[in-house]
Structure 1
Amino acid sequence: MRPLGVLQCLVLHCPAPRRLAAFYQELLGGEVNRPDRRWAVNADWSTLHLPDGRVLCFQRQPGHRRPVWGDSQRPQLAHLDIDVADLSAAHERVLELGATLLDSALGRGWQVYADPAGHPFCLLGH
């Protein structure tokens, strides 16, 4: 079956797009706000072009409310899973970058964090 479309990017809503793009750049690498004909970057929109060609985008949302892990009244609607070579070292680094630990269990091989805008993501050791 021929697909209807191709995923262009994943957009995360947040209060400070450039700051959140910089957070994910430290976590995943890539280039923040690289010129791209598809988007105009400004105070309300930032991009992160990842080394593998994927793109994360960050859009300012006035009145943004952080998701609350495990709360059905303010649920997360999506989350990112990120493979890391050393879970303990990655844990320390994301905390330095401004992440918050939401659910810890190193023995299971993954942990849940929130980025500075409250979006959950998991670090998975391998």
Structure 2
Amino acid sequence: MPFAKLGSVVLDCPDPRALAGFYAGVLGGTVKDEGEWVDLVLPDGQTLAFQAAPGYVPPRWPAPDHSQQFHLDLTVEDLDAAEKEALALGARPLETEDRSRTFRVYADPAGHPFCLCAG
């Protein structure tokens, strides 16, 4: 029997407010600014949090000698429309060459990889 439940996913970053704003634009929700720690409470109640990390170094993707550690898969209805919106918010394409796949890979403004996945 489980003894815990997931409270939130926390991303280290140089500017928690800016990264929370990016993900609020992508996922919706309410930003709760606590200074060095910022929560994004999503419409379904889940929390994505952002923590200031002095000396933050973004993951390199793809780089077998430097693990990406984790990435977020974000389900969307229309990949092309979602891509335009993500890029307008500051996402950077990492791997979008194969347009026949059901996902595309990007980096958020702090360099964390995430995928837009057809739902």
TM-score by length of structure 2 reads 0.95
Post-superposition shift, 1:66? Answer: 1.0
Q: What is the aligned-residue RMSD (CA, Å)?
A: 1.1
Does residue 125 of the first structure (1) align with residue 113 of the second (2)?
A: no
Please give the alpha-carbon distance, in whole angstroms, between the structure 1 residues aligned to 2:99 and 2:47: 29
Please give the alpha-carbon distance, in whole angstroms, between the structure 2 residues aligned to 1:124 and 1:106: 12
How many residue pairs match? The answer is: 118
Segments of structure 2 that go 5 or more residues without pairing to the other structure are none
Moved over 4 A (4+): none
Calculate percent identity across the aligned residue pairs. 47
2:101 to 104, 108, 123: 108
Post-superposition shift, 1:74? Answer: 2.9
SS in 2 for 1:107: coil
SS in 2 for 1:106: coil
Deviations 1:41-89 (A, max 9, x none): 11x1101000011000000111100111011343211111011111001
Please give the alpha-carbon distance, in whole angstroms, between the structure 1 residues aligned to 2:111 and 2:3: 32
SS in 1 for 2:25: helix
Partner residue, 1:28: 27
SS in 1 for 2:100: helix
Post-superposition shift, 1:4? Answer: 1.6
Does residue 95 of the first structure (1) align with residue 87 of the second (2)?
A: yes
TM-score by length of structure 1 reads 0.90
2:60 to 61, 68, 71: 68
Amino acid at match of 1:27: V
